Each structure stands twice: as structure tokens, then as C-alpha cells.
């Protein structure tokens, strides 16, 4: 499966993803997870490459037109930073650089590798110096047939170790495949996460393009015969979809979100900033009453954007000439032109509204709910 050798494609050091800015000074991964978006870019089964040192990376972040002080920044999304000594040392240096420059953005790390003691110590030191750091632990109960190279016992042990150190955890419940969508697996994953994490963020399976579809169909044959999977926000086995919408029956006080922006807002103690509050996506999440009240209060205080505000924001993102419709109430914006997903994500935070848009042909970013994509459920 996926045996063709692909040329390595490198990302910009600073980029915009759906929920956060991404800072990628180290790129590439030795792991061989069958579903990873990096595979289509030739960035799995390869040694990580340092493309910018810590000082240069932070300089590029602060100089980027995408940058804004309060916006979360996810570090090392094109590698697993915990996998190699070189990457971890780079992380330690980057944390020191962020602190030295008094950067106040929340910092997100995502991993499915064990977090060594010295890195936990570095995270604690950064937290104590005033840097807000969250760790997303990507865990869905898959085995090494799918997540090749991952030591799952180390991943599972991260939960109590980080919790004991006072490092906030978001459980990244992804990806969803039929083999991880059985009742015993899902219950085990939920029970473990609920004991240690602040919340779970549910995602399905990203299917990006025809080659990835062909590769993943070897694991999940129904993908090949289901319409719309390559254009979906995510694809979900029916059993997984149903289970993750009734977690309150098992853990009534544990939040489970279906929007990453909501999970992140909750973990950071903030209201929704992506126009999700009050939508169907909002209602699907098992969200604490206090967080819903926080979002409702912020929505009540929100300044509704005007056409002038929208035009100014579009011009700042290089979209001065596009036609748009601002829906009554100012909560949803329709852009009548193809726009890159990264630009849509930035505009969503600029304006605090939901945006629907035509996805730009050749967009290098995978499809997402931010760009108006919906789920596909199989089964």
C-alpha cells in the first residue's frame, strides 16, 4: 500500500491551518502511519530535516502577515516532534526563544510518541515562565498495522505523566477507521482520556486526493465505493459517529467536542472565536454549561461586522476584488469566489464568523469544516 516513492514537498515555515497558525521549522517523519497527510508529500519514512533554527523560526513567525498575538500556534505539524532527539532539542530551543521574546500566543504540540522526562521538564519550565502550552495526544486505539512505528504503550502512558506534571492535555480522537470503531476499543479510549485530559476532540479520517483514497481503501474498502469521501471534512464509520455523540451517557462531566476550535477554546479558557456558537456543529458537542455560557456572553458582546469591515479584512488577505454576501445578523459570510483554505481560516478568526466559500482548485491544504465541508458517514 502506498509503495510509490514520492518527492519530498516542504511547507512554509509559517502557515495558517483551520484553527491555529502552524510553525514548521522541522519537517519529515520516520513514522509510516497509513493515513497521514504527510505521505502524499513524501514526508513519511524519511529523516526529519531542520529547515530553520529556533531563532529564525520565531523571527519568521512574528514577521508573518498571518501572525496575531492571541492566536494559538501549533508547533511542528509536519513532523512528530517527540520522535527524535534533534527535533526535541529544537523544541526546547524554540520554547526558550518564545519566552525570551515574550511571545504570548498559546502553544500547541501534537504527538503520538512518548514524551521524555526532559521534554516534560522543558514544558513545565516554559509554563512556569508564563507560556501557555497544551499537548494534543493523538490516540484512537489503532494498532501498529496502521500506525507503523508508533509505540502505543508510550502514547497511552503520556496521559498520566503529563497530567501529573500539570500540562494540559487535549485528547485528539483521530483517525476513525472500522477497526477502532468497536465498542470495546472506543470505551477503552474514552475511559483513559477522560481520566486525564481536559477534553476530547473528535475527528474522522481525512481522505485527500485519489492516490490517498486508493491507499486507504486497502484498509477500509467501502471508501472506494462511497461518493464524496475526498471532498469531506472527514469520513466516519457509523459506529464511531454514533458513539462519539453519546459519550455523555458514560462520562457526563467530560467534554467531547466535534470542532477543534471549540476544544481549543475550552482548553484555553476562552469563548468561541470561529463563529461556531449556536450552530448545529456547536449543538453536536458535549460542551460544559459554563463554556456555553462563556460563548453566549461573548456572542452578546460581539461587534457585528459590516460590509466595510468585511471588505477591509478581505483586502488585508489579498482578496480585495472578490464578491461576497454578509448574511443577516452578520454571523455568516458567503464568498463568491475560489479562495485558499488557509485564507478562509485566517478570515474566520479576523471576523469571528462562519465562512462558506468555493474551494480553490489545487489548494494544497486538505478540505475542512472551516471551508464549509461536511462529514461523510459510512455504515
> What are the backbone dihedrals phi and psi of residue 228, each rounded to the nearest 5 degrees, phi first?
85, 5
d(CA 118, CA 355): 42
Whether the model pTM is above 0.85: yes
Can you give the pLDDT at residue 21?
Answer: 97
User: Mind listing the pLDDT tens digit for each residue in 61-112?
Assistant: 999 999 999 999 999 999 999 999 999 999 999 999 999 999 999 999 999 9
DSSP state of 220: -
Q: Which pLDDT value is given to residue 315?
A: 94
DSSP annotation string for 49-85: EE-S-HHHHHHHHHHSTT--TTS-EEE-TTS-TTS-H
Whether 1 has a pLDDT exceeding 80, the answer reads no
Give me the sign of the Cα torsion angle 330, 18, 142, 198: negative
Residue 311: band (very low, low, confident or very high) from pLDDT cuts 50, 70, 90? very high
pLDDT at 306: 92
Which residues are within 8 A (CB) of 249 and not within 5 positions of it... i.e. 6 or more apart? Answer: none
pLDDT exceeds 70 at position 228: yes
Mean pLDDT of the chain, nearest integer = 92
pLDDT band at 178 (very low <50, low <70, confident <90, very high): very high
8 Å CB contact between 282 and 257: no
| End-to-end Cα separation, the chain, in angstroms | 24
The residue whose grid cell reads 475542512 is 368
- Three-state secondary-structure class, residue 279: coil
Contact 294, 277 (CB under 8 A): no
Cβ proximity of 196 and 169 under 8 Å = yes
pLDDT on residue 2: 45
Place of cell 515562565: 129
Residue ranges of the chain that CATH labels 3.20.20.70:
14-297
Alpha-carbon distance 192 to 128, whole Å? 27
Inform me whether the pLDDT recorded for 365 exceeds 60.
no
Read off φ and ψ for residue 336, nearest 5 degrees: -95, 55
Cis peptide before 175 (omega within 30 of 0): yes
Of residues 145 and 242, more confidently modeled? 242
CATH class as words, domain 14-297: alpha beta
Q: What is the mean pLDDT of residues 118-138?
A: 98
The whole-angstrom separation of Cα 223 and Cα 210 is: 11
% of the chain with per-residue pLDDT over 70: 94
CA–CA distance, 232 with 22 (Å, rounded to integer): 22
The residue assigned the cell 470505551 is: 187
pLDDT of residue 360: 56
Amino acid at each position: 500500500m502506498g509503495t510509490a516513492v514520492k518527492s519530498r514537498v516542504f511547507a512554509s515555515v509559517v502557515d495558517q491551518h483551520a484553527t491555529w497558525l502552524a510553525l514548521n521549522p522541522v519537517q519529515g517523519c520516520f513514522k509510516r502511519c497509513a493515513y497521514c497527510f504527510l505521505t502524499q508529500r513524501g514526508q513519511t519514512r524519511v529523516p526529519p530535516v531542520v529547515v530553520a533554527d529556533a531563532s529564525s523560526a520565531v523571527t519568521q513567525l512574528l514577521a508573518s502577515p498571518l501572525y496575531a498575538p492571541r492566536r494559538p500556534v501549533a508547533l511542528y505539524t509536519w513532523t512528530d516532534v517527540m520522535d527524535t532527539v534533534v527535533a526535541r532539542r529544537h523544541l526546547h530551543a524554540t520554547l526558550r526563544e518564545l519566552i525570551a521574546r515574550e511571545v504570548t500566543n498559546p502553544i500547541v504540540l501534537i504527538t503520538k510518541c512518548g514524551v521524555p522526562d526532559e521534554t516534560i521538564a522543558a514544558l513545565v519550565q516554559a509554563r512556569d515562565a508564563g507560556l501557555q502550552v497544551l499537548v494534543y495526544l493523538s490516540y484512537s486505539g489503532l494498532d501498529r498495522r496502521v500506525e507503523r512505528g508508533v509505540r502505543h504503550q508510550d502514547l497511552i502512558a503520556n496521559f498520566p505523566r503529563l497530567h501529573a506534571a500539570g500540562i494540559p492535555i487535549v485528547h485528539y480522537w483521530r483517525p476513525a477507521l472500522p477497526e477502532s470503531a468497536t465498542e470495546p476499543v472506543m470505551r477503552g479510549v474514552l475511559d483513559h482520556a477522560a481520566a486525564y485530559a481536559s477534553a476530547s476532540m473528535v475527528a474522522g479520517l481525512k481522505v485527500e486526493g485519489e492516490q490517498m483514497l486508493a491507499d486507504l481503501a486497502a484498509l477500509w474498502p467501502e471508501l472506494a465505493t462511497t461518493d464524496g469521501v475526498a471532498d469531506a471534512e472527514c469520513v466516519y464509520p457509523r459506529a464511531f459517529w454514533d458513539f462519539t455523540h453519546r459519550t455523555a451517557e458514560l462520562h457526563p462531566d467530560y467534554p467531547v467536542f466535534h470542532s477543534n476550535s471549540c476544544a481549543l477554546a475550552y482548553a484555553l479558557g476562552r469563548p468561541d472565536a470561529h463563529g461556531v456558537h449556536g450552530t448545529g456543529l456547536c449543538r453536536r458537542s458535549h460542551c460544559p454549561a459554563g463554556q456555553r455560557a462563556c460563548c453566549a456572553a461573548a456572542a452578546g458582546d460581539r461587534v457585528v461586522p459590516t460590509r466595510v469591515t468585511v471588505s477591509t479584512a478581505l483586502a488585508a488577505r489579498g482578496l480585495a476584488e472578490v464578491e461576497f454576501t454578509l448574511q443577516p445578523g452578520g454571523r455568516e459570510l458567503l464568498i463568491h469566489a475560489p479562495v485558499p483554505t488557509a485564507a478562509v481560516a485566517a478570515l474566520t478568526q479576523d471576523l469571528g464568523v462562519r465562512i462558506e466559500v468555493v474551494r480553490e482548485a489545487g489548494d494544497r491544504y486538505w478540505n475542512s469544516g472551516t471551508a464549509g465541508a461536511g462529514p461523510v458517514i459510512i455504515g
